[in-house]
Amino acid sequence: MDNPIYVVVCSSKIFEHQKPRAVALPFHPRKGVSPTGFTKPTWAFPDWILELKPSELRDYQGFVAADKLRQIAALLPNPIIPINRDEAI
């Protein structure tokens, strides 16, 4: 059985109204320097949650450290309600 995985949307674009609930993630302009793999400013948006099957995750470019994960987790809505995939595109 494929239990779902919940992921938050990350983007390098942010609007003023999103800033209070966005978490800035580490980045570095040179590829391979930041543990996240991001090469430009990027934010995690805890209000934008997608539900995925583990089989849908095919690749990754880095990781987010525990302190940032705690920041994101503290901002997650309760209960977690994933957005419709059509809304995420």
With a cut of 60, say whether residue 89 has pLDDT above it.
Answer: no
What pLDDT score does 57 carry?
84
Task: Please provide residue 32's backbone torsions phi and psi, each rounded to the nearest 5 degrees.
Answer: 90, 0
Q: Name the band, by pLDDT with cuts 50, 70 and 90, for residue 44.
A: very high
Mean pLDDT (the chain, rounded) = 89
Chain centroid to CA 19: how far? 14
Side by side, the strands of the sheet bearing 23-25 are 5-11, 42-52, 23-25
Distance CA 28, CA 47 (A): 25
With a cut of 70, say whether residue 87 has pLDDT above it.
Answer: no
